[in-house]
Amino acid sequence: MGLEEHMMFLERMSQLILSAVPRAEYSSLFNDFVESEFFLIDGDSLLITCICEKSLKPGQELHFFYLVEYYLMDLASKGGQFAIVFFKDAEYAYFNFPELLPLRTALILHLQHNTTIDVRTKFSGCLSQEWEAFLEDTYPYYLVVADEGLNHLQTYLFNFLITQSWAMKVNVVLSSGQKSDILRLYAYLMPSSQKNQKFFKENKKKIESAYKTLIKQLEEYRISALESLFGKLKWKNMMKEAHETISQLKQLWPEGSDIRRVLCVTSCSLSLRMYHHFLENRKKTTSDEKTNIQEVESNCLALQEMEDLCKLHCLSVVFLLHLPLSQRACTRFITSHWTKNIHTFLEMVLYEVGIKVKMLNAVVRKQAQKFKNGEIFWKYLPRILGVKLY
C-alpha cells in the first residue's frame, strides 16, 4: 500500500494537531511548572528552527552553530535540564535538501564532541520500542518539536512525533514562537489530553502502517537521488577508500590533525573517484539510450578539470585556516558560466560531505588510539562547512 492510500489518515492526523495549536498555552516553561526539571528537544526541529532564523544567511554555517549554542546556553542558564534527540529515520527527510545533510551530521558530532550536552542518536524512530521505553524511564515533562518541516513529508514526521508524545502523556512545546527574557522562557505548550491519547490508541495500527510506508517512500527517494549521483559506488568501497586515505595521513601527520585538514584531503580523494564513477555511469546510460556521448560530455567538466577544482578547494581551505573571521566574513558568492557545468558535481559533494563526516567519525572511533589528540581533531567541526573562497 503506497503513501497515497494513507493520505486521508495523514491529513486527519494533521488536523488534530492544527486544531490544538490555537488552544496552545503561552507559558513560562521554567517557572510555571514544578515538574519541568527534565525535558527533551527534537534535534531536527532545533536544526530547522535555527536554519529559518532571519539573521542567518546562506553560507553562514558558523553563525548557525552560534545560534544553536546560544539557544541551548540560554536554556541551561535558566536551569533547564534537557537532552537532544536525533532520530535515524529523520535523516531520510533531507534527500531533497543535500546542503542540510552535512550540516545535520556536523551538528550532531559537534554537540557530542565539543559540548557536555546529552545527545541521543540510537533511536530509529519515534514509534520504536526503545524510544517508548526511554520515555517511560525518563518521564520528560515536555518535548520541544516543530509543527512544520521543510516540506510536507518532514511535517508528517513531526506530526508522528507529536502524536506519539501525547500518547505517552508527554506534553509538546512548539519550537517556533519562543521568546526569552532574563528570567524566563516563553513558549506555546500543547498538553497531552485524553482526546489525543484516545486518538493514538484507537488508530495505533493505522499510525504504524502510515509511518512505515512514509519511511519506505523516503528511503526510495533517497536511494534514487544517490544512485543518480554516485552510480554503482558502494558504501563499503567508500569506507575502504577512507581507511586507506587516513592511513596515509597518519604517516604524514603522526601527531594527528584537526577535522578541517583531514576532511579536505579525504573530500578531494573520494570526490575524484566518485566523479569518475559518475562520468562512467553517465556514458553507459547515454550509450544505452543511443545518445551522442560527445554532447553529454560537453555538459560535464572533464576529470582533469575536476582535479583543478579540487586543487582550488585545497587552496581555499588553506586560506580559511589562516584568515581571521573578520576577513572571512567579507567572502561573497561569485557566479560564473562554468559553475553551471559542475552543478551536479557540487550537489553530489554535498551528499558526500555528510557521508564522509559520518565516515570519519566511525574511522576515528575505531582507530582512536592512533589519533593522539581527539579534542583537537573535533574542535573546528563547526567551521568545515563555511563559505568557499571560489
Domain stop point among 223, 249, 282? 223
For 129-162, the pLDDT digits (tens) are 999 999 999 999 999 999 999 999 999 999 999 9
Give the pLDDT band of residue 20 (cuts 50, 70, 90): very high
Domain stop point among 223, 241, 267? 223
pLDDT given for residue 55 in this prediction = 85
Indicate if 264 and 212 belong to the same structural domain.
Answer: no
Number of domains in the chain: 2
Which of the pair, 53 or 373, is modelled with greater confidence? 53
Q: Are 354 and 236 in contact (CB under 8 A)?
A: no
pLDDT given for residue 135 in this prediction = 96
Q: 389 in a domain, yes or no?
A: no
Percent of the chain with pLDDT over 90: 38
Give the pLDDT band of residue 374 (cuts 50, 70, 90): very low
pLDDT given for residue 260 in this prediction = 77
Indicate if 201 and 289 belong to the same structural domain.
Answer: no
Please state, in angstroms and rounded to a whole number, the distance separating the CA atoms of residues 96 and 124.
20
In this prediction the pTM is 0.78
Strands (E), 34-166: 38-42, 81-85, 118-120, 142-145
Give the pLDDT band of residue 301 (cuts 50, 70, 90): confident
pLDDT at 95 over 90: no
Which of the pair, 344 or 219, is modelled with greater confidence? 219
Amino acid at 322: H
Instruction: For 341-358, give the DSSP string.
Output: HTHHHHHHHHHHHHHHHH
**Residue numbers of the domain that contains 349:** 231-383
Domain stop point among 223, 247, 280? 223
Q: Are 159 and 13 in contact (CB under 8 A)?
A: yes
Minimum mean pLDDT among 151-160, 214-223, 363-372: which range?
363-372
pLDDT at 297 over 80: no
Indicate if 46 and 182 belong to the same structural domain.
Answer: yes
